Amino acid sequence: MKVLIVLTSHDRLGDTGKKTGFWLEELAAPYYRFKDAGAEVVLASPKGGRPPLDPKSTDPGFQTDETRRFEKDEEAKTALAHTVRLDSVSAEDFDTVFYPGGHGPLWDLAEDADSTRLIEATLRSGKPLALVCHAPGVLRHAVKPDGTPLVRGRRVTGFTNSEEAAVQLTGVVPFLVEDELVRLGGDFSKAGDWEPYVLQDGLLITGQNPASSGPAADALLKLVHEVAHARK
């Protein structure tokens, strides 16, 4: 099994002067779910090289067993320092694709044509796709073969308006994930703030927040195996 993880290359939190990027737990938890399942994991980002890490995600209160494991893992850190360019990857080379969140994706991946093509090609080829936290916002320009929004009529979740308000960034982000998914016709639902919540609709898996990243990866692994079994 070969898994592609797509990370942001954007490091500026709007006009605040603060840094952003990807959220460490949302990479580390899925990374080890995949690695421990024997998968080959490839990391990609729009610019390639080392993607920016949201410095807040390394605060002690946000550390988990997986983030601590990642920070001691030389192989993982080397892979992170040398992500491949997103425009160099193809959906046909992977069994599945996973998008961690963090605020960065709202600025770059949400508007990235290579990302949109990857998402559309992955689902069109019958392969599962998962996105967590802010990453479901990356679906905003993706369409179905008939040209309608990819999320229209699908059950989806993502970082909620109330969670964005809790971190006081409602007026900073370029758009609110919950509002955008609803605007596009998604059947949006959610759990309480910061509670793990994962939805699967066909081949599309979405998770609400950082705590949902591990469970979303578990759901994705299960779906990959189901798809492989069905093709035999």
Domain count, the chain: 1
Exposure of 44 in the CB half-sphere (CA atoms within 13 A): 21
What pLDDT score does 231 carry? 87
Boundaries of domain holding 66: 2-231
CATH number, residue 72: 3.40.50.880
What pLDDT score does 185 carry? 98
What pLDDT score does 97 carry? 98
What pLDDT score does 232 carry? 82
**CB atoms < 10 A from the CB of 158, how many?**
31
Whole-prediction pTM: 0.98
- Inter-residue contact 6 to 115 (CB < 8 Å): yes
H or E element that contains 97 = strand 96-99
Residue ranges in the chain whose pLDDT is less than 70: none
What pLDDT score does 30 carry? 98
Burial 53-67 (b: 16+ CB within 10 A, else e): bbebbeeeeeebebb
User: What residues contact 207, with CB distance under 8 A and at least 6 apart?
Assistant: 130, 131, 132, 133, 157, 158, 196, 197, 198, 199, 213, 215, 216
- Inter-residue contact 29 to 71 (CB < 8 Å): no
